[in-house]
Amino acid sequence: MVTAFAPYHRAAEQEKLLGEHPIGEAFEAFALETGRDELFARQDRLFRRCVARAWQTGFYRRLWGAAGIEPGDVRGLEDLPRLPVFDKSDLMRSIEEHPPFGDFGGFEPEDPARPPVVFHTTSGTTGRPQTLLFGPKSREAQSLLLARAYRWQGMRADDVVHSCYGHGTVNGGHYVREAVLHWTNALFVPAGTGLETPSTRQVGLMRDFGATVLVGFADYLRRLGEVAADEGLAIGRDIGIRMISGHMAPEDKATLARLWGDPVCYDWYGVGDTGIVAAEGPDRDGLYVMEDAHVLELLDVDSGAAVSPGQPGDMVCTCLFKDDVYPIVRFNTHDVSRERTDASAAGYRLRRIEGFLGRSDNMVKIKGINVFPHAIGPLLAGLPEFLGEFVCRATPDGAMTVVAEVRSGERTLAARMRAILKDALGIEVGIELVAAGATAVLTGIDQRQKPIRLIDERTKRRMAPHGGGR
């Protein structure tokens, strides 16, 4: 006898998802009209459901039990701070003790009646790749939320979306594809990374199929713009990009706009476990937290206490839609951001953050000062000679050298860079000026979604920033 189970699309309950997490015009109204009390009540209802599911997993019974938490102690969202945070190290320990998937998924692989489970991994930029697990409902919710951001930012039916997110076992490229395919009616071109589809081939695809929207990480999108110019492709005539949505700082937007003919550029933030957490809206004035789907806390990197509004802290996320496979309650991403304290000029009532500011576990201590390698590029972005590509070397003697690609090796340029970084960081760093493309072997810009920005010669670590789809 064949045991009945709920097929993927039935288990996803898409109509119910749309009621809990609106999209399109319904989301616009939600963001403008929903008050804080109404939003809290909505979050509280979904949170209770997630906590009940989490208690059914060995991972949370162990994690919460060790903190003295018992079933019934957590009555609602107001009790969230009582629960311990966890991070990737806890998940990797779960996988080691309960191979190969860990015990945080909350499903039995051999159960013939279980619903389908979606399997992916992280990119492994900070070590061994981590298992990522989704049920049909949480997978579609993740995709819906990303498509919500794309549509809010202006993605249309007549767009051809060229995606530079990686595939293979990595989550990012697959879930971006599902977002566009399942929840928009734009046409999707899954080009992948430069390793999957060489950069020269990518710009040819953009020309041949009339790409109008670019999605991916800013570093590689910048590289593609340079390749298009090298190939003699005229932006606006051969390739007409009107919108870019990815993971970028303000200085990235200016560079991408220059390279791609002044498209509108949008930033968004998320990691593989959580999916998209926050995104810029039409006003492009901070990233709005998807508060119907996430509770985002900002906690002090050292003490774990909540930071004051406007102060930087680790982003700790509770996913309100993950009550099927792998519940997420207080996951520390170790990505740093800060909350915006000014009111939205557009009238949206959702909280806003600045976006990705660096990683607390990618921080290096140089001469007693905490340095985020990811932040070096933005500090140098005001120099017209700086081409945007760089890598930091932490040397065994406790010093740091920044290897920076520049247009010229003019004698005072290195001194000006040293002065800028000393003023911002409070320490002296070395500067090594190199020609365009010279750091590519070290950063892996043509093969990786997230280029390496730190080579720690003290520990032989090579670290890329997190953030984004992973």
DSSP lists the bridge partners of residue 86 as 331
Report the pLDDT value the prediction gives residue 179, as an integer from 0 to 100. 98
Residue of 185, 164, 338 whose CA lies nearest to 256: 164
Confidence of residue 192 (pLDDT cuts 50, 70, 90): very high
Span 419-424, mean pLDDT?
A: 88
pLDDT digits (tens, 9 = 90+) for 312-328: 899 999 999 999 999 99
Phi first, then psi: what are they for 321, rounded to 5°? -105, -5
Distance (Å, rounded) from C-alpha 370 to C-alpha 43? 36
- Using CA atoms, how far residue 451 sits from 218, 226, 433, 465, 466, in Å, is 10, 16, 18, 8, 10
Q: Is the pLDDT of residue 466 over 60?
A: no
Q: Is the pLDDT of residue 202 over 60?
A: yes
pLDDT digits (tens, 9 = 90+) for 10-37: 999 999 999 999 999 999 999 999 999 9
Name the percent of the chain lying above pLDDT 90. Answer: 70
pLDDT digits (tens, 9 = 90+) for 110-125: 999 898 999 999 876 5
Residue of 44, 41, 35, 124 whose CA lies nearest to 76: 44
Name the percent of the chain lying above pLDDT 70. Answer: 94
Distance (Å, rounded) from C-alpha 153 to C-alpha 145? 12
pTM, whole model, 2 decimals? 0.83
Report the pLDDT value the prediction gives residue 125, as an integer from 0 to 100. 57
* Token duo for residue 157: 């039916």
Q: Is the pLDDT of residue 265 over 80?
A: yes
CA atoms within 13 A on the CB side of 332: 22
Q: Which CATH architecture has domain 364-463?
A: 2-Layer Sandwich (3.30)
Which of the residue ranges 126-130, 306-310, 368-372 has the most confident prediction, judged by mean pLDDT?
Answer: 306-310
Confidence of residue 365 (pLDDT cuts 50, 70, 90): confident
Span 80-99, mean pLDDT?
A: 95
- Contacts (Cβ under 8 Å, ≥6 apart) of 26: 18
Report the pLDDT value the prediction gives residue 37, as an integer from 0 to 100. 97
Span 421-447, mean pLDDT?
A: 87
Secondary structure of 143-182 as H, E, C letters? HHHHHHHHHHHCCCCCCEEEECCCCCCEHHHHHHHHHHHH
Q: Is the pLDDT of residue 257 over 80?
A: yes
Which of the residue ranges 161-165, 251-255, 390-394 has the most confident prediction, judged by mean pLDDT?
Answer: 161-165
Confidence of residue 462 (pLDDT cuts 50, 70, 90): low
Report the pLDDT value the prediction gives residue 463, as an integer from 0 to 100. 59
The rounded Cα 34 to chain-centroid distance in angstroms is 26
Average pLDDT, the chain: 91
Domain boundaries, the chain: 364-463
Q: Is the pLDDT of residue 332 over 90?
A: yes
Report the pLDDT value the prediction gives residue 126, as an integer from 0 to 100. 54
Which residue type sits at 362?
A: N
Report the pLDDT value the prediction gives residue 470, as an integer from 0 to 100. 46
Q: Comparing 359 with 93, which gets the higher pLDDT?
A: 93
Q: Is the pLDDT of residue 269 over 70?
A: yes
